[in-house]
Chain A
């Protein structure tokens, strides 16, 4: 026995997992890698830089130090020395720090709402696709109906009814964004369920739930990851639209969307208020979209060769 186990590995070539393969392919896509690093840096900055002492509170006003230029330093009338990295807004608040805190909210909405949509969409789609038959058509018609509802109007009604609350934003967006996800997963599951490994699982007497969760969902992971990276920017954009309409975060808190709105109003006198958040928001969305494209190529090499 000991002799066998020593000789066997030397002769068999070590296999690479699907994940490793994908990672290698992704690494060759420079745009996607640059986007990945950019996105990671933005996330780290937004979530951890505010913890560093010296980053000003984003909601502290210094009305006497309004519309300051970037890289300026001044003493407020309260005798406090304030330095602005990217200047100040009309109430003397620090734009840089407002962007960091705004990024927290925008990114959190992006991630959480995507997570909500991911959970609902994957389970719904897998069940619908696997069980099939009449249940499948009923479940998919429900999706069709929900697709037809005008999203903006639902959100406006919900926010006027429940008041402007942040959790509502997560729920609303998440509850609407799962529809496409469920269709993708359903399609995948339908093509997978005729394959031999599912037959095998069936013949072993596994329950439907076990087949769905252990055998089908892991096999849909490629399209799901791709679609998720594309959902995050879509959700962030929705949040920005809502904030732009005044339905998102409530003052004095900010998200990138609400900062862009405030900036758009005052762009004639302080262009920086619009330019900085718009740049960072635009670049984040770009990076997520590029990353999503790159992941698609990496996880599904067949489609990229078409």
Chain B
């Protein structure tokens, strides 16, 4: 009988005997806690002194292989350990920083790009980084056997798509060529004046051929090569420790060509998927930076003096994917009913509370001159009308379906609010909310085993193409089963136009189709809401939020004040 106490409790005994003792202990504990917290320097102070950046990073990464990952948190880590041809500028998304390529030039119509690689770029084992490494990497991600979820980023290359889909088997027909060890020629499918922006992306990072092939074939994913100790990378940092659901440590890469100018000695990434836990970690001096901020604390932080809170425009869109391959979400009228029944003003004002903008289109408004068509609105009457058209006399007839979310209080609140809006305006009773852990969630969405799923898309470069190309038929980030030949045609036509205004017009036309068919329900346009420790210097607001870590400096804030 382990759980039943041996002696009966007698009244009075408990109160008279234990309370004074208990009180004494509590006071003693508080005094001890108070003393220690005053005296001891926090983890952040130590890290600042040692120049180690401690970053909250959302969920546990799916992989640390640039050809497998597709989420923002994962690519944050890869941006520290690998370096592409061109890299991000610390202050301005529109500017380019030379990476492995020292300089680059394009032909007159921007369809052929030549990258001249620096001769001192090295892998973390000392091998030189050559143009052949890039050709090998592009071959790897585009290989049909690799099934890279983000391979479509390389469809910019001539025949890239055909090779990826298995229509041609010879990789030498794909538009990338190493002229010699230090000159890379990229021939594009269609003109792209913004190509240097594109190659900054994670998918264009090089991988080390000898390491990959030491642990498996070229196209094997999730092999041992991505483990600390095995991974050879060419970025400012290299992977030294990866403890699942605990932390990922990267430290200075001594062979990095610009090692002298790398400011931090290392970075620790913490996969904390509960934003409340993360905020507590920040408040207790455990991390320099939070990935997100709980919405109920935004107001409090905003009113603080010298607040660590940052709210910045972010190039991203928050939406629900609908699985169009199975009922009830296969019915376009039903999806329209769902889309028109959501009051987005309420969501951004009361649920997310971080200055987000309600989304009535898919592409965010910050895409340099692109004017997204706003088709969807909040219109309960229209929503009910569409529900009737979908064949349901009332919401009660709608069969049970579920919204899946990845584990996060913020996503849960949004899902619950929307579920209730559907109930109030349409009378839909049976909507389940299921939460899944981030890795599982990504797989479920990929396998189309859902009805509606929470999703966010962050632009990979500043151009509406990054938001719209994913909805073409069979794109590896489509994940809704949606396919529309007019949409595909318009997107293809837009790619061939080099004049920006005209290209945008075509894309707007395509986006209008997307919004009429609503395989996705746009909800709001992101803002970056995060907490940043004052010790962190050179951290500038960026539309894409891809901070090049080598420029970020750490100095104790108090010292500076003196």
Contact = CB atoms under 8 A, between A and B. Distances in A.
B417 A297 contact: no
Given A64-B346, A66-B350, A265-B294, A290 B9 contact: yes
Contacts of A231: 3
A220 interface: no
Nearest to A268: B297
A246 B417 contact: no
A83 interface: no
Contacts of B24: none
Interface stretch (B82-90, B427-435, B488-496, B530-538): B427-435
Interface residues of A, number: 41
Nearest to B298: A269
B434 A297 contact: no
B416 A251 contact: yes
Interface in A43-68: 59-61, 63-64, 66-67
Interface string B396-435: 0000000000010100110111011101100000001111
Chain B interface SS verdict (over half): helix
Contacts of B33: none
Interface string A4-44: 00000000000000000000000000110000000000000
Contacts of A142: none
Interface in A164-190: 164, 180, 184
Contact of A31 (B9, B274, B412, B435): B9
B8 A296 contact: yes
Nearest to A290: B9
Given A251-B412, A251-B433, A268-B297, A226 B8 contact: no
Contacts of A297: 8
Interface residues of B, number: 37
A269 B297 contact: yes
B276 A266 contact: yes
A270 interface: yes
B4 A252 contact: no
Interface in B333-358: 346-347, 349-351
A162 to B, nearest CB: 12
B11 A250 contact: no
Contacts of A265: 274, 276, 294, 409
Nearest to A163: B434
Contacts of B294: 265-266
A293 B4 CA distance: 8
A64 to B, nearest CB: 6
Contacts of A290: 9
B27 interface: no
15 contacts: A59-B423, A61-B416, A63-B349, A64-B349, A64-B350, A78-B424, A91-B351, A91-B417, A226-B4, A230-B4, A252-B419, A266-B294, A294-B8, A296-B8, A304-B8
